[in-house]
Structure 1
Amino acid sequence: MKALSILCFALLILGCSNDDATNQPPDNTELYFPPIGSDVWETKTPAALGWNETAAQPLLDYLEEKHTKAFIILVDGKMVMENYFNGHAASSLWYWASAGKTLTATMTGIAEQEGFLDIDDKVSDHLGTGWTTAPLAKENLITCRNLLEMTSGLDDALGDGVTPAELQYKADAGTRWAYHNVYVKLQDVISEATGQTYSDYFNAKLRDLIGMNGGWFVSGNNIVYASNARSMARFGLLMLNKGKWEDTVIVNENFWNEAKNTSQNINLAYGYLWWLNGKSSYHLPQTQFQFNGSIIPSGPNDMYMALGKNDQKIYVVPSKRMVVIRMGDAADDVSVALSDFDETLWEKINALTN
């Protein structure tokens, strides 16, 4: 990544068209799903995949050097690599930071398919008017879809707070892409629409159905998720399989497809709270500058990504039938969610897998 890109991508908490054949995950019959409530997880060896095994140790050395705590590679749902470093263990919980935004996106899709909301609803339909300090006519332009896209039009320069006083008008909704913590209001929308706490609804409709562990905790102005690395991998596997756990639909395929494709025409590399690789250009937080090229040039073009502060990562790669997980402290002692670490990491993964 260019140095300018790195500086611009300070996440606070943190090309491919929809019909691109390479952007289709495998049929679920090709995928293995670990059983619910069990530590059993079938494995597949790098040798069985024809990988370059001599590249494995340099990858692991790099991960350990870069303050990684957990690293997982799944192929066809099976565990190919599972490594823990720096005092972390398989049972250890760790925060997802902004990688957890994708959980909120998924829960929004679930609430919509159950008839509790429509993503084109005005946010004020669920939260009432006055949830921002924008003029009423401007506030009423903001839909749940805008929060999923990061096109609320609210001022992203005012920090992480989401009280009305901190949610101020900058531009009409849908006309400006800006990474903004206002997305957390979707959790309030879901709670109001379903009549349940966000945590209870999440547990019943997502976490428990795919065998994740962990829970939500308050961090500053955010509700942040923490789990073990295998839970993160389970979620990545769900997304690889078009929102289904085995044959059970968790979130419908239409929403899944929209979520992992370009959601608006300003930042081509952003779906519904997912980052998208392989696009012709991208925007980054705290700037309106358009960067040309792919976010991670060494990464697969069809990869979609959950990215969080201090290098929490979920990479989903349909063309490789692969999910990659990284948890840990910041790789380079800075809190940006995308840095040279991503580029070098994928160079090393490619050396192993190609």
Structure 2
Amino acid sequence: MRFLKISLLALLVLVIATAAWIGLVGNDLIRTATNSASHSLCASAFLARIDPDRTFGEEQLPLMGAVGRAIHYDVDRRRREVRTTFLGGFAARAVFRDGLGCLLAHGDGPVPEAAGFQPDVIAGGFAQTQVVEATDRAIRKALDQAFAEPDPAHPRLTKAVVVLHDGKLIAERYAPGYGPDTPIYAHSLTKSVVNALIGILVRQGKLQLDQPAPIAAWRSPSDPHHAVTLDQLLRMDSGLPFDETAGALSPMAHMLFLESDMAGYAAAMPLAHPPGTVWGYSNFSYLLLGRVVRDAAGGNAVDAERFARRELFGPLGMRDTVIETDATGTPVGASNVYASARDFARFGQLYLDDGVVDGRRILPEGWVAYSHSQTLKTGYGAGFWTNLVSEGSVPVWDAPWGMPRLPKDMYYARGAFGQYVVIVPSEHLVVVRMGISLDYGTGTEDMIVAIIDALHHQPRDRPAVAAATR
């Protein structure tokens, strides 16, 4: 009986402490956690076809810490949705929609465009369907290191590496359960995809870089936002605040996990600086660019997805790519592309080939050079990071701008937790690395240095070892 009283007392203390903690940090942190888990596990189960328990253990639980241990989730394969709760409350729900990926459904109401659509099958892509093993011993060793776990306390969890040289697939490797057709959460690689979609609209004459951004909420000339241009949104010097600050309750996290109209939330954010004067990492900017794409494509989620498939994914043979939307049908241009590593290799090759594929111009002339030209005095371009700054670091993050051991002409797409599409024009090289490196220790620069060194030491008359990209 005395033990029972002690146990009940301990339980009461735990309940009181938990309630006090929730009251202290506010509901938003818990809602962010449950919404994040619902979306991640929905995409894992129904889009990437990866065991959601594995995803929760590798990605969500380490990020959430103590909160994660109180998370319960249910994967409903019949309804194709995931429901998540925290201690029985703070319910979250994500629903899979054909052709559109997963949508955070805030509440139990109707899901916009719930039926999704059946997209046309994308042809083309790599001629080789089997995994291409490197024939060069040094390149195989470089990939060995990319998948190694030198520090078990800080796992890299590399999921995929793909290497293109001279437009040919010369090496690739995947973690167990992943393969050439596995869509992987791309995080901010999405911003570079949005760069391409905006470029296509510029080529079609529907947009101009120096025009005020066509955002309905900014239409009034008296609004300080009215002067913000598409160029400034792409370059992240629009004056919108640096939104990816430390902690789970950053403005970026609020937008992605707590708002149904993400671009509407971004549009209402006050300017922190006059446009064109200060660089600040801006997920807000790329949600607004997603809204621009949606409006130009027809105004809803299916229109936006069809536009992306018809004008970009299809011509490149990106067969396993989806860009998800929010509840308003706006592509989540900051973060929500899922694509295979091979698809991202094809995407990188498009930029290496100056925006042309199979003789067809996809991006406007000069767009690639524009995309990796320097913004202010930073190491950022317009949707891509550059290797042009050798000193200093990214504000707030205190992270290096580039990869100093790689050639200066290198530029790259980068996403959270170690997503990279690295383009090295002087080496005719594209390298894709994807994974769940929560501590950012990916070894990607070391791997690419080793690959370049190996290529320099190969005999010039070596036989062709891999299939062309088309």
Provide TM-score, normalisation by structure 2: 0.58
8 Å contact from structure 1 (residues 129, 136) kept in 2? no
In 1, the alpha carbon distance for the partners of 2:138 and 2:203 equals: 47
Partner of 2:216: 128
List runs of 5+ in structure 1 lacking aligned partners: 1-34
Give the match's secondary structure for 1:314.
Answer: strand
In 2, the alpha carbon distance for the partners of 1:122 and 1:271 equals: 19
In 2, the alpha carbon distance for the partners of 1:306 and 1:141 equals: 27
| Mapping 1:114-125, distance limit 5 Å | 114-123=204-213
Q: Which of 70, 73, 81 is 2:160 aligned to?
A: 70
Partner of 1:238: 350
Q: Deviations over 1:38-74 (max 9, x none)?
A: 5514999966xxx6x2462253243243311111111
2:433 matches 1:309: no
Q: Which of 271, 276, 295 is 1:192 aligned to?
A: 295
Partner of 2:71: none
8 Å contact from structure 2 (residues 218, 267) kept in 1? no
Shift of 1:194: 3.9
2:242 matches 1:146: no
Q: Which of 266, 270, 273 is 2:383 aligned to?
A: 273
2:309 matches 1:203: yes
8 Å contact from structure 2 (residues 132, 169) kept in 1? yes
Larger RCO, structures 1/2 (Cα 8 Å, 6+ apart): 1
Give the match's secondary structure for 2:163.
Answer: strand
Q: Deviations over 1:9-34 (max 9, x none)?
A: xxxxxxxxxxxxxxxxxxxxxxxxxx
In 2, the alpha carbon distance for the partners of 1:322 and 1:219 equals: 35
Structure 1's 159 and 252: CA in aligned 2 closer, same or farther, altered over 3 A?
Answer: same
List runs of 5+ in structure 2 lacking aligned partners: 1-121, 150-155, 244-249, 256-262, 457-470
Structure 1's 226 and 275: CA in aligned 2 closer, same or farther, altered over 3 A?
Answer: same
Shift of 1:282: 5.6
Partner of 1:10: none
Structure 1's 149 and 39: CA in aligned 2 closer, same or farther, altered over 3 A?
Answer: closer
Provide TM-score, normalisation by structure 1: 0.76
8 Å contact from structure 1 (residues 243, 251) kept in 2? yes
In 2, the alpha carbon distance for the partners of 1:98 and 1:112 equals: 22
One-letter code aligned to 2:192: T
8 Å contact from structure 1 (residues 138, 173) kept in 2? no
Shift of 1:164: 5.1
Q: Deviations over 1:68-98 (max 9, x none)?
A: 1111111111111111123211221111110
Q: Is the radius of gyration larger for structure 1 or structure 2?
A: 2
Shift of 1:224: 0.8
Shift of 1:114: 0.6
8 Å contact from structure 1 (residues 69, 328) kept in 2? yes
Structure 1's 58 and 254: CA in aligned 2 closer, same or farther, altered over 3 A?
Answer: closer
Structure 1's 328 and 179: CA in aligned 2 closer, same or farther, altered over 3 A?
Answer: same
Partner of 1:8: none
Give the match's secondary structure for 2:173.
Answer: strand
8 Å contact from structure 1 (residues 211, 234) kept in 2? yes
Q: Which of 277, 282, 293 is 1:180 aligned to?
A: 282
Q: How many residues align?
A: 302
Partner of 2:454: 352
8 Å contact from structure 2 (residues 158, 442) kept in 1? no
One-letter code aligned to 2:426: S
Q: Deviations over 1:239-287 (max 9, x none)?
A: 110000021000122112101221x3231x2111100114344652536
2:183 matches 1:93: yes
In 1, the alpha carbon distance for the partners of 2:125 and 2:202 equals: 30
2:272 matches 1:170: yes
Shift of 1:154: 1.3
2:406 matches 1:299: yes
Partner of 2:259: none
Give the match's secondary structure for 1:69.
Answer: strand
Shift of 1:344: 2.9
2:371 matches 1:259: yes
8 Å contact from structure 2 (residues 390, 404) kept in 1? no
Give the match's secondary structure for 1:313.
Answer: strand
2:394 matches 1:284: yes
Shift of 1:108: 0.6
In 1, the alpha carbon distance for the partners of 2:222 and 2:391 equals: 34
In 2, the alpha carbon distance for the partners of 1:204 and 1:165 equals: 28
Structure 1's 64 and 36: CA in aligned 2 closer, same or farther, altered over 3 A?
Answer: farther
Shift of 1:219: 7.9
2:127 matches 1:40: yes
Partner of 1:249: 361
8 Å contact from structure 2 (residues 341, 432) kept in 1? yes
In 1, the alpha carbon distance for the partners of 2:219 and 2:446 equals: 42
Structure 1's 136 and 342: CA in aligned 2 closer, same or farther, altered over 3 A?
Answer: farther
What is the aligned-residue identity percentage?
26
In 1, the alpha carbon distance for the partners of 2:178 and 2:219 equals: 41
Structure 1's 298 and 63: CA in aligned 2 closer, same or farther, altered over 3 A?
Answer: farther
Structure 1's 237 and 87: CA in aligned 2 closer, same or farther, altered over 3 A?
Answer: same
